[in-house]
Amino acid sequence: MRFYTRTHKHYCGIDLHARSMYLCVLNQEGKVLLHRNLPTDPDGFLAAVAPYREDLVVCVECIFTWYWIADVCTEQGIHFVLGHALYMRAIHGAKAKNDRVDSRKLAGLLRGGLLPQSYAYPAEMRATRDLMRRRLHFVRHRSDLLAHIQMTHHQYNEQTPGKRITYRSNREGVGECFEDLSVRESIAADLALAAHYEDVIQNLEASAVRRAKGHDPDNLQRLRTVPGIGKILALTILYEVHDIRRFARVGEFASYCRLVKCQQESAGKVKGTSGAKIGNAHLKWAFSEAAVLFVAKCPEGKGKQLLARIQRKHSKPKALSILAHKLGRAVYFMLARKRAFDLEKFLMS
């Protein structure tokens, strides 16, 4: 957990919503200078904080509406802090809760150096990161459609298609084994939607690759030197990480990627683990996929040898998780040192 500890002359906490925002401005002594509900209008916001612009810092919780306020603060040269919503939920819980109380607590946490920070992703690469996340959303919808076709065959005890229907060339004649017209129409609808999703996904991937070549082509190529990390995983890691320098240590990066478990301990007694949802779910998915593909695509079967070695030392279910952690550490040092992947060094570690 990182806290924002810089001191300022004025502290502004905003309880932000889609159509309204409650502002609270404190001075260094903790006196309330402004406490007002406003519409989410950039001009109205700037007019409200105009008397307190001298050494002002603004904070909002990390919810879906924070982009515009961060961009306004950046353009106007105002310090902006993004609060970690899950950590603040544990810190500023109280008996009474409303917009007025929440904005006052945000400003108080900011002034006291107790505000847990989240990463305010810069605007220049943010839209492409969201594009990759949207692509993954469409991929999952496509998978649901294809899974429904398989389930329909099982429902009627029909032989499932012999080839993988993830490929369009293997879909000819799928559904013709059913006599009921409604079932055949249902499968035809699934196939039509899946084909449309594939066209959309392909266009999004091409667009993301073009933008990545303009944003950070060197790191994109470095990531693709890892066996098993192809175009999509490289793009996902590139845009979810953005700048590796924001992680001071490799352990911080592994924790952010959800590749390690956090231990709960009190009075010398271990009470289990926690924080499974703290971190980046997209990086967790990327490195989990990369571990499986590394074993399959590593040259000369070295990936399988490494996995077998890990399995002998640990249990089989843990082996892929440990391999994903090792890949995450390797990617951290690759990006930090600006070097390509060294397979021999990785296998020896």
pLDDT averaged over every residue in the chain: 92
Q: Tell me, yes or no, whether 226 lies in a domain.
A: no
Q: Tally the domains of the chain.
A: 3
pTM of model > 0.75? yes
The verdict on 92 and 151 lying in the same domain is no
Q: Tell me, yes or no, whether 310 lies in a domain.
A: yes
The verdict on 14 and 94 lying in the same domain is yes
The verdict on 154 and 100 lying in the same domain is no
Taking only the tens place, the pLDDT of each residue in 60-72 is 999 899 999 999 9
Taking only the tens place, the pLDDT of each residue in 185-242 is 999 999 999 999 999 999 999 999 999 999 999 999 999 999 999 999 999 999 999 9
CA-based radius of gyration for the chain: 25
Residue with tokens 């993004």: 82
The verdict on 327 and 236 lying in the same domain is yes
| Cα 46 versus chain centre, distance | 31
Bridge-partner residues for 24, per DSSP? 13, 35
Q: Tell me, yes or no, whether 270 lies in a domain.
A: no
Where among 89, 120, 151 does a domain terminate?
Answer: 120
- Residue 174 three-state SS: coil
Provide the residue count of the chain: 349
Q: Tell me, yes or no, whether 222 lies in a domain.
A: no
The verdict on 14 and 54 lying in the same domain is yes
- Its domain, for residue 289, covers 231-265+275-348
Percentages of the chain per state (helix, strand, coil), in multiples of 5? 55, 15, 30
- Contact between 73 and 79 (Cβ < 8 Å): yes
Q: Tell me, yes or no, whether 317 lies in a domain.
A: yes
Q: Tell me, yes or no, whether 63 lies in a domain.
A: yes
- Residue 210 three-state SS: helix
Taking only the tens place, the pLDDT of each residue in 2-29 is 899 999 999 999 999 999 999 999 999 9
Where among 84, 100, 120 does a domain terminate?
Answer: 120
Q: Tell me, yes or no, whether 244 lies in a domain.
A: yes
Residue with tokens 């229907």: 165
The verdict on 149 and 88 lying in the same domain is no
Looking at residue 91, its pLDDT comes to: 62
Q: Tell me, yes or no, whether 225 lies in a domain.
A: no
pLDDT at 1 over 90: no
Q: How far apart are CA 119 and CA 200, in angstroms?
A: 30
The verdict on 21 and 107 lying in the same domain is yes
> DSSP code of 298?
S
Looking at residue 90, its pLDDT comes to: 59
The verdict on 207 and 261 lying in the same domain is no
Where among 120, 147, 179 does a domain terminate?
Answer: 120
- Residue 336 three-state SS: helix
Name, in order, each residue with C-beta under 8 angstroms of 199's C-beta and a sequence gap of 6 or more.
Answer: none
| List of long-range contacts for 52-56, beta carbons under 8 Å, 24+ apart | 52/10, 52/12, 52/25, 53/10, 53/78, 54/9, 54/10, 55/8, 55/9, 55/10, 56/8, 56/9, 56/10, 56/11, 56/12, 56/25
The verdict on 184 and 115 lying in the same domain is no
The amino acid that residue 172 corresponds to is E
Give me the mean pLDDT over the 160-187 stretch: 89
CATH value at residue 33:
3.30.420.10
User: For residue 93, what pLDDT band results from cuts at 50, 70 and 90?
Assistant: low
The verdict on 79 and 162 lying in the same domain is no
User: For residue 273, what pLDDT band results from cuts at 50, 70 and 90?
Assistant: confident
Name, in order, each residue with C-beta under 8 angstroms of 241's C-beta and a sequence gap of 6 or more.
Answer: 283, 335
The verdict on 237 and 344 lying in the same domain is yes
